[in-house]
Structure 1
Amino acid sequence: MSALRQALADYLSVRRALGFALDRAEKLLGQFVTYLEQQQAEIITIDNAVEWATLPGGDGWWHALRLCAVRRFAVYLHTIDDRTQVPPPGLIACGKHRATPYLYSDAEIRALVQTATGLQNRFYATTFPALISVLAVTGMRLGEVIALDVTDFDAAAGILTIRAGKFGKSRLLPLHPSTAEGLRRYLTRREQLIRDKNLVDCGVFFISNAATRLDHSRVQKTWRRIRRLAGLAPRPGNCRPRIHDLRHSFAVSTLLDWYRRGEDVAALLPTLSTYLGHTDPKHTFWYLSAAPELLALAGQRLDAYLGDTA
């Protein structure tokens, strides 16, 4: 192991002890260290950091994100080796970026679930319909769903416990009775599959074909196959049907339902923020701009308020 790779392992260990997940940073910095090793570079310099960050592929936002990951690592390394150069903030200028969310219709979600049940792999044909359904009806992050253990589901009460979610926070998610029943059925089929294959049950909720925990890369690869077989295609404006957009769709659908029922959305928004695991309701407000219908309903509510105060 090179000195840089050992330093990266130490850096990740220190920051994770402070509560950071760093899944993306670990992947990016691992690629950066490989690049430095190939270049036979022993220290980080501004030049090699920028060269790697702006390698072909991606746009300005992606380049800036890569350089930001390197900069934090370089700040850490500089305290150990003062030869390390720290790229200044803002070296690659880029405005704030958000991918255009792909808002799934109920019909599209049903098509995805139905397609997943037809996968040839028996384990995936059992796991992925349940996994997609949970993402669609709870708005959970993919990482949170993958991290679930069987003991995190209170089948009697119909409650999921999210342990150590984003920013290390945990939360309880009460489920609709139909969702709880669907998860109970999944667990029955899951246990039968494990017995049929004489596998060890390690207690993870959503299992791979080895009855082990799913990883992000496998889920994303299978998701791309499911969405292709279901006939979902990108929409204009670089709007691709990502698995994370099931979370966006849940949030927008919830807000639309509240507006249509005449609920006090401003008062209810902190509840949605808590359910989604947002650190601040302002992050949930972003969903108001995610769908034209939401903007229209919000505008109508504002017009009515201004009319009453005129």
Structure 2
Amino acid sequence: MLKAIEAYLALGRATGFAMLNAECLLKSFAAYATERGQTHVHAQTAIDWAARGPSVAQRDARLKAVCRFVRHVRVEDARHELPPANHFGARKTRRAPHIYSAAEIDRLIEAALRLRPKGGLRPRTYAALIALLSVTGLRISEALKLTVADLTRDGLLIRETKFRKTRLTPLHDTAAAGLEHYLARRRPCSEADPVFVDARGVPLRYIAVKESFDRLVSGAGIAPASRRRPRLHDLRHAFAVRVLQGGAEDRSRRHANMAALATYMGHVNIYATYWYLEATADLMRDVAVAGEAFFAEGRQS
């Protein structure tokens, strides 16, 4: 079984996937099966092993990792049993995002510019970072890994990000000018230097950015729509919604716009992009108008 697992992992890596989590889980399962004297996957053994996970979500993830492996290996060896993928009945839940308005983003940037030390690098760094996230929908990890060399004439070069993909993210002229202005105010830097740094010139750490952002949300007077505080990651949700709201009015172009948005955001498929959308008042108004026009057209014909 371990030999088959190694071949499966090698194929996945050859097609661009890191397979780190799959490797950890499958080798753990192989060791568990070996203790039972089994050389092929048995459905009940896979369920028993997966049940060792501390939560329903983790048990579900463990079992589905085995299922993916079995679907691959059964093509050549039908002796492997395919476990029922939904045995644990886990359902992925989605926390409702806070869709920042343009006014709220402005207040966040203004609050960042008031950070201490006044006139220092920190206020400008956080203002530039929040502005960039709001107009590009970048993952925070992608923004923090940017180097000066990644700022090209054609946009931002996002290297080896999630799913080990590299993509080019075009920037509006105003966004490019904002980044250039920020870098001009910084100390001299080489192309290998990170774009966003702290006062010591060290790359910003995610935990520091998150803690500062949470304080900025409070300082900007942004009230959450629910009991949960608006998150840094919600800027990515807000970007996706804003793009959809500002898309072409021609409904025949909506599919092309969604495909372009998925590519721009670095998604493997369009379903991941749907995860970022939220039913805002403006979007629901557009849906209502489109529906009324559709039924009116049907009545006339």
Alignment CA distance shift 1:284-1:150 (3 Å) = same
Deviation at 1:136, TM superposition (A): 0.1
Aligned to 1:273: 262
Aligned to 1:114: 110
Distance in 2 (alpha carbons) for counterparts of 1:142 and 1:259: 28
Aligned to 2:193: 203
Alignment CA distance shift 1:207-1:22 (3 Å) = farther
Aligned to 1:143: 141
Alignment CA distance shift 1:261-1:110 (3 Å) = farther
Aligned equivalent of 1:186, options 144, 162, 182: 182
Aligned to 2:132: 134
Number of matched pairs:
263
Alignment CA distance shift 1:287-1:203 (3 Å) = closer
Aligned equivalent of 1:245, options 213, 234, 254: 234
Deviation at 1:20, TM superposition (A): 4.7
Aligned to 2:206: 216
Alignment CA distance shift 1:256-1:235 (3 Å) = same
Q: Please give the secondary structure, in 2, of the residue aligned with 1:172.
A: strand
Deviation at 1:204, TM superposition (A): 0.9
Aligned to 1:228: 218
Distance in 1 (alpha carbons) for counterparts of 2:252 and 2:197: 39
In the alignment, is the contact (CA less than 8 A) between 1:147 and 1:204 conserved in 2? Answer: yes
Aligned equivalent of 1:95, options 91, 96, 101: 91
Deviation at 1:148, TM superposition (A): 0.8
Code of the residue aligned with 1:149 in structure 2: it is T
Aligned to 2:282: 293
In the alignment, is the contact (CA less than 8 A) between 1:202 and 1:212 conserved in 2? Answer: no
RMSD: 4.1
Distance in 1 (alpha carbons) for counterparts of 2:260 and 2:14: 29
Q: Which structure 2 residue ranges, 5 or more long, are not aligned? A: 1-8, 25-45, 68-82
Alignment CA distance shift 1:264-1:71 (3 Å) = closer
Code of the residue aligned with 2:217 in structure 1: it is R
Aligned equivalent of 2:247, options 249, 258, 261: 258
Deviation at 1:286, TM superposition (A): 4.7
Q: Please give the secondary structure, in 1, of the residue aligned with 2:247.
A: helix
Distance in 1 (alpha carbons) for counterparts of 2:122 and 2:98: 24
Deviation at 1:291, TM superposition (A): 1.6
Structure with higher Rg: it is 2
In the alignment, is the contact (CA less than 8 A) between 1:289 and 1:295 conserved in 2? Answer: no
In the alignment, is the contact (CA less than 8 A) between 2:196 and 2:203 conserved in 1? Answer: yes
- If the length of structure 1 is used for normalisation, what is the TM-score? 0.68
Q: Please give the secondary structure, in 2, of the residue aligned with 1:161.
A: strand
Distance in 2 (alpha carbons) for counterparts of 1:21 and 1:126: 35
In the alignment, is the contact (CA less than 8 A) between 1:131 and 1:206 conserved in 2? Answer: yes
Alignment CA distance shift 1:178-1:289 (3 Å) = closer
Code of the residue aligned with 1:189 in structure 2: it is R
Deviation at 1:191, TM superposition (A): 2.3
Deviation at 1:285, TM superposition (A): 3.9
Q: Percent of counterpart pairs with the same letter?
A: 35
In the alignment, is the contact (CA less than 8 A) between 2:53 and 2:62 conserved in 1? Answer: no
Aligned to 1:40: none
Deviation at 1:73, TM superposition (A): 8.8
Aligned to 1:53: 54
In the alignment, is the contact (CA less than 8 A) between 2:147 and 2:191 conserved in 1? Answer: no
In the alignment, is the contact (CA less than 8 A) between 2:60 and 2:90 conserved in 1? Answer: no
User: What are the superposed Cα offsets for residues 33-61 of structure 1, whole Å, 9 maximum, x if unpaired?
Assistant: xxxxxxxxxxxx9999867724xxxxxxx
Aligned to 1:42: none
Aligned to 2:100: 104
Alignment CA distance shift 1:250-1:289 (3 Å) = closer
Code of the residue aligned with 1:216 in structure 2: it is Y
Deviation at 1:160, TM superposition (A): 0.8
Q: Please give the secondary structure, in 1, of the residue aligned with 2:196.
A: coil
